[in-house]
Amino acid sequence: GESVGLHLPTLSVQEGDNSIINCAYSNSASDYFIWYKQESGKGPQFIIDIRSNMDKRQGQRVTVLLNKTVKHLSLQIAATQPGDSAVYFCAETSQAAAGNKLTFGGGTRVLVKP
Amino acid sequence: NAGVTQTPKFRILKIGQSMTLQCTQDMNHNYMYWYRQDPGMGLKLIYYSVGAGITDKGEVPNGYNVSRSTTEDFPLRLELAAPSQTSVYFCASSFGQLLANYGYTFGSGTRLTVV
């Protein structure tokens, strides 16, 4: 299986509970943020994004919160399911960044207990 | 619509050997990227391209080369493989206007081991 995530922080959550994954970003000029989900053996998949002119955005069972003052992002997953077990990454960029390059955080592994 | 396709999925190289990791996308994306992902780490940008004939270095370009002769293809070349290049490599693409296209589309990765 995929060795990514061997040394990542791990969040263990009971099935049906809510999960909160946190991310601190570094660049105060960043104005666009994305959360990705990476399942074992696969590439990252887009979950939800948020622009810097917003502080909250909701999707299906997921909510992203952005606090620009302390440069912090969080991803909330409601009613966590076994299929949510994966590694989650936040990524940041700015419209001024050449090539729209994304800078990724270190990731958090989520383990859902039945 | 296949998205981003990477080949091979797995490869073992001996120190000093060379290889090319292939990446192709069929979404007519202008921007393409190569990232590497080491165990327990996030993704680090190796090289990127904003269009055919244009490439630029990312955060960790040493030991790699790229070319972009067509919109669809963005191969990554390792000339003299070293153990430090053992990693999982991801290719990604985007239209180049993130606000309109919700980020990158990633391939499924190439796991490379250098022994």
Residue numbers in A near B43 (CB within 8 A):
44, 89, 104
A101 in contact with B, Cβ within 8 Å: yes
Predicted confidence at residue A16, as pLDDT, reads 97
B84 in contact with A, Cβ within 8 Å: no
First to last CA, chain B: 36
B2 has pLDDT over 80? no
C-alpha distance from B32 to closest chain A C-alpha (Å): 9
B60 in contact with A, Cβ within 8 Å: no
Residue B25 sits at φ, ψ, to 5 deg, of -135, 145
- How do strand A72-77 and strand A62-67 relate by DSSP bridges? antiparallel
Q: Span B67-73, mean pLDDT? A: 97
Predicted confidence at residue A98, as pLDDT, reads 81
Predicted confidence at residue A3, as pLDDT, reads 35
B112 in contact with A, Cβ within 8 Å: no
> Nearest Cβ partner of A32 from B40, B98, B105?
B98
Closest C-alpha among B77, B29, B70 to residue B52: B70
DSSP β-bridge partners for residue A112: A13
Predicted confidence at residue A2, as pLDDT, reads 35
> Nearest Cβ partner of A7 from B33, B39, B102?
B39
Residue numbers in A near B46 (CB within 8 A):
none
B65 has pLDDT over 80? yes
Which of helix, strand or coil describes residue A35?
A: strand
Residue with tokens 């999960």: A19
**Are the beta carbons of A98 and B56 separated by less than 8 Å?**
yes
**Are the beta carbons of B88 and A104 separated by less than 8 Å?**
no
User: Could you tell me if B85 and A18 are in contact, meaning their C-beta atoms sit under 8 angstroms apart?
Assistant: no
Q: Percentage of chain B surpassing pLDDT 90? A: 83
- Give the model's confidence band at B71: pLDDT under 50 very low, under 70 low, under 90 confident, else very high: very high
Residue with tokens 């990731």: A107
Q: Span B88-111, mean pLDDT? A: 83
Predicted confidence at residue A34, as pLDDT, reads 93
Q: What does the block give as tokens for B37?
A: 């992902």
- Give the model's confidence band at B101: pLDDT under 50 very low, under 70 low, under 90 confident, else very high: low
Supply the mean pLDDT for chain B.
92
**Are the beta carbons of A46 and B102 separated by less than 8 Å?**
yes
Residue numbers in A near B100 (CB within 8 A):
none
Q: Where are the alpha helices (DSSP H) in chain B?
A: 98-101
What are the pLDDT tens digits along chain A (114 aa)? Answer: 333 344 678 999 999 999 999 999 988 999 999 999 999 888 999 999 999 899 999 999 999 999 999 999 999 999 999 999 999 999 998 877 788 889 998 899 999 998
**More confidently predicted of B96 and A43:** A43
User: Could you tell me if B37 and B87 are in contact, meaning their C-beta atoms sit under 8 angstroms apart?
Assistant: yes
**More confidently predicted of B2 and B53:** B53
A8 in contact with B, Cβ within 8 Å: yes
Predicted confidence at residue B98, as pLDDT, reads 56
**Are the beta carbons of A100 and B40 separated by less than 8 Å?**
no
Length of chain B: 115
Q: What tens digit of pLDDT does each residue of B32-48 get?
A: 999 999 987 889 999 99
Pick among B56, B57, B98 to test the A interface (most A CBs inside 10 A): B98
Query: Could you give the CA distance from residue B38 to residue A89 in angstroms, rounded to a whole number?
Result: 14
Q: Percentage of chain B surpassing pLDDT 70? A: 94
Q: What tens digit of pLDDT does each residue of B6-35 get?
A: 999 999 999 999 999 999 999 999 999 999
